[in-house]
Structure 1
Amino acid sequence: MTSKEMPGDARHEPLSPSEERVADFAQRDPLRFATITAAEIADQTMTSDATVARAARKLGHAGIREWKRLCAESVDRAIGLDSNLRSQLSRLPERDEEGGQAIAIKRILSATARSLVDLGDQLDTDSFAEVVRTISAAGNVTTFGLGTGFHAAEYMSLSLERTGIRSQAMTGSGHMLADVFPRLRHDDVSVVVAPRLLTPDVLWHVEESLKRCHATVLVSSAAPPHDLAKDLLHLSLPSGEDASMNRMICTFALIDVLAYELARLAPTRAVERSAEVQKIRNRVNRSHRK
């Protein structure tokens, strides 16, 4: 949003040429703007941190963080569920086309299979092995996600528990993060599940995890900002043409592989926990038959 595109009848101070460069960058590449630091924005626009802050204020934002959040939301709308669904439907046969249903089933499942093959081909095995070692030695693992990412974070937490690793899933954005962050402990491993997009709240959680936790793992198809990437363990998801439809499938598949590797690394622990869970299930089943 530039100085010429203010909402409503709001009147703001005119932007200087350097501030205009910052605003133009936010409009031209909102995803990058939302996922890099103010210093990196300044570097990209040949300005300064102070210029970025002034541009945010003049455009009516409470601060740079709010501006970045709005940019992330605009990207989320642009590549949201409706546009994703329309794109996928355009590649499938019409309902009344002869054999259309069978063709659609084959194409959808073929695309899913290709995404899973891409996951296997593209996964950095060194990073994966390091994540396995780090989580296996953890005293506690916290998993975090927003939206559908939280469902994957819950599944990961349950999978870890079943291998004998203590874990809990968390979610929250905005002010709710004030309750989430104090739960992060210095001996925790924090796993952040953001399959599609690194929103400002996700990045904020990553930043806090890096400060508060023993190690931080990011599961995402999006590349983290350079200032965070050097301290992160990043498990990258496929980002090809078919990946948008199958990113969650790849996420759950990656969690399954991770859980099996953790069980393989400490089989006694995993078997003991599975046996404990099965005993409880058996008691529940007996009580229901009475």
Structure 2
Amino acid sequence: MWPQQTPSLTPGEQAVERFARDEPLKFATLTGAEIAARTETSDATVARTAQKLGFANVREMKACCASRVQEQADLQHVLQTRLEALRTHGTEDDGPSGESRTMTSVLTAAAGLVLGAESSIHWPAAAEAAAAIAAAPRAFIYGLGTAYCFAQYAELEFARIGIVSRGITGSGHTNAHAVFQIDAADAVLVLAPRVIFADVHRFIEAAARKGARVFVIAQASLPPQLHELGVLHLRMPSSGGGAATEAVPTVSLIDALVAEIATLQPERALDARAQAQAYRDEFSR
């Protein structure tokens, strides 16, 4: 979250802060050295500015800028940004040419997002999420809009390793009913890969207040009040300004959680797979 009051900054630090405010997308997607070059400062000044503004490091400040862009972006703007990224990539001399260039550019960008998850995700929190889901009597997976498609995929994959799970979506009274059914012993996985909308925020907060373990997969930073409630953040790399969407890294992280849960309770996972296969065989006759 961007500080409400700007602390005392040197002229160089003011240049970095102004660049982040005026060009949040560029700030989020440039390296520290590139930001220093754009603002005519130094890497040390960029790092010092981030700390003075209350961020742990430059990466956290960049993530905040990315979330600001995503909060403001509607679907049309998202597509426009992707098309611009593809046009920029199309001016490069290397790589494939012709009809395949657009598709290979998207695949390359998607692979970059997956690889970027290695550094963006706090892996102890991911391991804690896997352990909590494995031990909970039920797992609820919440997603709004496109994220509900990811929630349905997670529900299917969790069920196939023996996890009693339920994919849920909605807002208003639908969310109220969903939270009503959640118990303190349950685990809740919230998928908000691009934006944490107000309805999603309210659902997270209400589920956490009931005592359930809540884990959020999101690019955007979590508000402090959610951290105070014990909500853990699995931060995805920013897809802002790129040719690929957040879909591939989100599904990849779900697959990673499924694999980790299966290793924690392999007998249950294998038994569930055997039962699922038995029903497949029966209905294939």
Provide TM-score, normalisation by structure 2: 0.69
The answer for the alignment partner of 1:270 in structure 2 is 269
**Structure 1: how far apart are the matches of 2:71 and 2:217?**
22
User: Which of residues 156, 159, 162 in structure 2 aligns to 1:161?
Assistant: 159
Deviations 1:44-70 (A, max 9, x none): xxxxxxxxxxxxxxxxxxxxxxxxxxx
Is structure 2 residue 256 aligned with structure 1 residue 261?
no
**1:106 to partner: Cα distance:** 2.3
**1:92 to partner: Cα distance:** 2.7
**Structure 2: how far apart are the matches of 1:187 and 1:235?**
20
Unaligned runs of 5+ in 1: 1-27, 30-74
User: Which of residues 224, 239, 257 in structure 1 aligns to 2:222?
Assistant: 224
**1:176 to partner: Cα distance:** 2.2
Residue identity opposite 1:202 in structure 2: V
Please, what is the CA RMSD of the aligned residues?
2.6
Residue identity opposite 2:222 in structure 1: P
Query: Partner of 1:217: helix, strand, or coil?
Result: strand
Higher radius of gyration, 1 or 2? 1
User: Which of residues 80, 84, 89 in structure 1 aligns to 2:78?
Assistant: 84
**1:99 to partner: Cα distance:** 3.5
Residue identity opposite 1:251 in structure 2: T
Higher relative contact order (CA 8 A, sep 6+): 2
Aligned length: 214
> For residues 116 and 211 of structure 1, do their structure 2 counterparts lie closer, same or farther at Cα, with a shift above 3 Å needed?
same
Query: Partner of 1:246: helix, strand, or coil?
Result: coil
Provide TM-score, normalisation by structure 1: 0.68
The answer for the alignment partner of 1:125 in structure 2 is 123
Query: Partner of 2:216: helix, strand, or coil?
Result: strand
Residue identity opposite 1:90 in structure 2: E
Verify the 8 A CA contact 1:142 1:189 in the aligned structure 2: yes
Query: Partner of 1:91: helix, strand, or coil?
Result: helix
**Structure 2: how far apart are the matches of 1:128 and 1:243?**
25
The answer for the alignment partner of 1:246 in structure 2 is 245
Deviations 1:70-91 (A, max 9, x none): xxxxx87841221111121123
Unaligned runs of 5+ in 2: 1-20, 23-68
Deviations 1:257-278 (A, max 9, x none): 1001111111111000000000
**Structure 1: how far apart are the matches of 2:74 and 2:124?**
32
Residue identity opposite 2:74 in structure 1: G
The answer for the alignment partner of 1:191 in structure 2 is 189
**1:108 to partner: Cα distance:** 1.4
**Structure 2: how far apart are the matches of 1:128 and 1:262?**
11
Share of identical aligned residues, percent? 30
> For residues 244 and 259 of structure 1, do their structure 2 counterparts lie closer, same or farther at Cα, with a shift above 3 Å needed?
farther
Verify the 8 A CA contact 1:84 1:245 in the aligned structure 2: no
> For residues 243 and 205 of structure 1, do their structure 2 counterparts lie closer, same or farther at Cα, with a shift above 3 Å needed?
farther
Mapping 1:139-218, distance limit 5 Å: 139-218=137-216
The answer for the alignment partner of 2:284 in structure 1 is 285
Mapping 1:14-33, distance limit 5 Å: none
